[in-house]
Amino acid sequence: MPIIVLDPGHGGTDPGASGNGLQEKNLTLAIGLKVKQLIEANYIADVRVTRAADIYVGLSERADFANAIGATYFVSLHHNAGGGTGFESYIYPGTSPSETGIRQDVMHGEIMNFLSGYGVRDRGQKEANFAVLRETAMPAILLENLFIDTVNDANLLKDPTFITGLSNAIATGIGKSLNLA
Ligand SMILES: [Zn+2]
């Protein structure tokens, strides 16, 4: 059975970004747990999370966890900050011709398909030397789901219907990229 590791970014003493009354660590956890539930309800897969509560987990610890259980796919959940707007996805530099890149195409397309209905800007499929992408032995992706410090983006992140739809798009993207039954 495929093993999917969902990685809600930040947690505990590391709140991540904040703005407009939102904290990144709370949003990533809420979405991570919802995506887990949706995958389990719709596909045959073993879904694990790097954290299921508001606790601090180091970046290497997250990657080590996925490596130790032989995960099939690692999906890290984050929200952007810095005054921009929109959605972007990241893979490790140079991995776009591999399975990692093929899955990014599917994931990014599925999520943008949902987000474009809300007029959310596509910032593109990107590459970065992030620890969780570098240290994971399996294909991995990191999602930056809108900007917490931009009012329009934050208003969407405060909308439960939007969060459910986004979680569903992430779950469907994972299902499609892994051809889950
Ligand atoms: Zn983050």
Residues, Cβ < 5 Å to ion ligand 1: 9, 16, 78
Q: What does pTM read for this prediction?
A: 0.98
Mark out the alpha helices in 92-138 (DSSP H runs): 99-115, 131-134
Contact call for residues 80 and 17 (beta carbons, < 8 A): yes
The mean pLDDT value for 53-67 works out to: 98
Q: Among this protein's residues, is 135 annotated catalytic?
A: no
Q: How does residue 181 score in pLDDT terms, banded at 50, 70 and 90? A: confident
Mean pLDDT for all residues in the chain: 98
Q: Which of 24, 110, 135, 144 is catalytic?
A: 144
Flag whether pLDDT at 167 surpasses 90.
yes
Quote the ligand 1 centre to 181 CA distance (angstroms).
Answer: 31
pLDDT tens digits along 3-34 = 999 999 999 999 999 999 999 999 999 999 99
pLDDT at 129: 98
User: How many other CB atoms are found less than 10 A from the CB of residue 56?
Assistant: 12
Q: How does residue 73 score in pLDDT terms, banded at 50, 70 and 90? A: very high
Going along the chain from its start, the domains and CATH numbers come out as 3-177 (3.40.630.40)
Q: Is 17 helix (H, G, I), strand (E, B) or coil?
A: coil
Flag whether pLDDT at 88 surpasses 90.
yes
Quote the ligand 1 centre to 54 CA distance (angstroms).
Answer: 14
pLDDT tens digits along 117-158 = 999 999 999 999 999 999 999 999 999 999 999 999 999 999
The mean pLDDT value for 89-106 works out to: 98
Quote the ligand 1 centre to 17 CA distance (angstroms).
Answer: 7
